[in-house]
Amino acid sequence: SSEVLEAIENVIQGVLESLAQKKAPVLTLANRSDWRNIEFKDSVGLQMIPRCTTKQIRSDCPRSAPKFALMLKILSMIYKMVQTNTYATKRDIYYSDTLLFGSQSVVDNIINDVSCMLKIPRRSLHILSTTKGFVAGSLTYTEEDGTKVNCTCGATVCITKQQHLNRKDLISHAKFMLIVEKDATFQRLLDDDFCSKLSPCIMITGRGIPDLNTRLLVRKLWDTFQIPIFTLMDADPHGIEIMCIYKYGSVSMSFEAHHLTVPSIKWLGLLPSDLERLNIRKDVLIPFTKQDQNKLASIQKRPYIACQPMWKKELEIMAASKLKAEIQVLTSLSSDYLSRVYLPNKLQFGGWL
């Protein structure tokens, strides 16, 4: 707490010193979205370089003055929350003054900028994410009030909450973790009792692009249990992008890579080569859009693809076919093909990259 308060006081002191010298105050922060500020490290993923290019949020420029004011507003809110040991969600902050902030995305972006500027992880700023991730399977822990929570498949599905991330009492007999891209597939595997049929496992979904809490939980479970982690994604550029966020991180959160990435994650499916191997009919595949082509081309140029020759091959197969497939395409073979045949075979015979 004292570290957060001191960091905010230093920023405000800089503003006051500028005003005392009759200069327009300026906030300086790393340029988070610039690939030139990012380096790829095998053991960490995408991380921000120590001496990266910065951008200035000026108080005397009509374009940046509103952002300057909003950053000070959110800094003051964080300062009060840390002082009083209270918490708020990003949504609470937006709804505290919707006219001032304009949109939720403005608040989200400024919170990330503030975290990056202060060099303090977002969860230490007393701002909670409204989470959308689910976890199920061989995992138990005790709530602060003494309630025992059991995520055993079929019995309950627990939303990953901020307070689960600092737990010391996580217990699991899982042999592996499976990250599932979509909620529909996650629910289907729950219905098929997948977590206990093959061998005990933990199943997680971020229900699309994962939020911060889901990524933190994946990392926490990896640090705690050191068991293999596999991903089950759609065979399309969007699915690959999501897998890369779990494994290597994202450009915008590269300043927090050490707490968020798990570079040992394996790509289990759905692989582009699986579509041919399983003789999936062409009429159930989806043609690429221009957006898909651009997204795939951008992924192929990323630094981590160079050290993943097998991934490179899969992306080339996808680029050549210009076709994509959702995991649900496996139901064209049989309604329970995913849980009865596809996943057991892959896990037993090592069909991952």
Q: What is the CATH number of the domain that holds 37?
A: 1.10.10.10
Q: Which H/E stretch holds residue 268?
A: strand 266-269
Q: How many helices (H) and strands (E) does the chain have?
A: 15, 16
- Taking alpha carbons only, the member of 54, 48, 19 closest to residue 35 is 48
Cβ atoms < 10 Å from Cβ of 182: 20
pTM above 0.75? yes
User: For residue 129, is it left (φ>0), alpha (ψ between -120 and 50) or beta?
Assistant: beta
Q: Where are the alpha helices (DSSP H) in 102-252?
A: 104-118, 183-191, 194-197, 212-225, 237-248
Same domain, 102 and 139: no
Q: Point out the domain boundary residue: 94, 128, 162.
A: 128
Binned at pLDDT 50, 70 and 90, residue 41 comes out as confident
**Residue 13 CB contacts under 8 Å (≥ 6 apart), including other chains:** none
Same domain, 250 and 107: no
Distance CA 22, CA 180 (A): 55
Same domain, 98 and 207: no
Q: Which of 34-48, 59-73, 241-255 has the lowest mean pLDDT?
A: 34-48
Q: Point out the domain boundary residue: 128, 147, 163.
A: 128
Distance CA 23, CA 5 (A): 25
Distance CA 69, CA 252 (A): 22
Binned at pLDDT 50, 70 and 90, residue 166 comes out as low
**Residue 146 CB contacts under 8 Å (≥ 6 apart), including other chains:** none
Using the 8-state DSSP alphabet, how is residue 341 labeled? I
CATH number of the domain encompassing residue 201: 3.40.1360.10
pLDDT > 80? residue 34: no
Q: Which of 31-35, 98-102, 296-300 has the lowest mean pLDDT?
A: 31-35
Binned at pLDDT 50, 70 and 90, residue 226 comes out as very high
Same domain, 159 and 108: no
- Taking alpha carbons only, the member of 295, 291, 286 closest to residue 322 is 286
pLDDT at 179: 94
Give me the number of domains the chain comprises.
Answer: 2
Cβ atoms < 10 Å from Cβ of 104: 15
Same domain, 276 and 201: yes
- pLDDT single digits (tens) 45-75: 887 777 777 788 888 888 888 989 999 999 9
Same domain, 145 and 124: no
Averaged pLDDT for residues 253-257: 70
Using the 8-state DSSP alphabet, how is residue 174 labeled? -
Same domain, 115 and 159: no
Beta-carbon-side half-sphere exposure of residue 69 (alpha carbons within 13 Å): 9
Binned at pLDDT 50, 70 and 90, residue 16 comes out as very high
Q: Which residues carry out catalysis? A: 95
Same domain, 212 and 139: yes
The residues facing 46 across adjacent strands are 40
Cα-Cα-Cα-Cα dihedral of 303, 306, 307, 312, to 10°?
A: 120
Distance CA 5, CA 17 (A): 18
- How many residues make up the chain in this entry? 353
pLDDT at 97: 87
Expressed as residue numbers, the domain containing 232 is 134-349
Q: Six-digit token pair at 39?
A: 């380096």
Q: Point out the domain boundary residue: 80, 102, 128.
A: 128
Q: Which H/E stretch holds residue 30?
A: strand 26-30
Q: Six-digit token pair at 153?
A: 């498949």
Same domain, 98 and 153: no
Averaged pLDDT for residues 261-266: 89
Same domain, 245 and 314: yes
Same domain, 166 and 218: yes
Beta-carbon-side half-sphere exposure of residue 167 (alpha carbons within 13 Å): 24
pLDDT at 165: 59
Residue type, 301: K
Which whole-number Å values give the CA distances from 235 to 132, 269, 301, in the listed order? Answer: 23, 7, 18
Same domain, 93 and 140: no
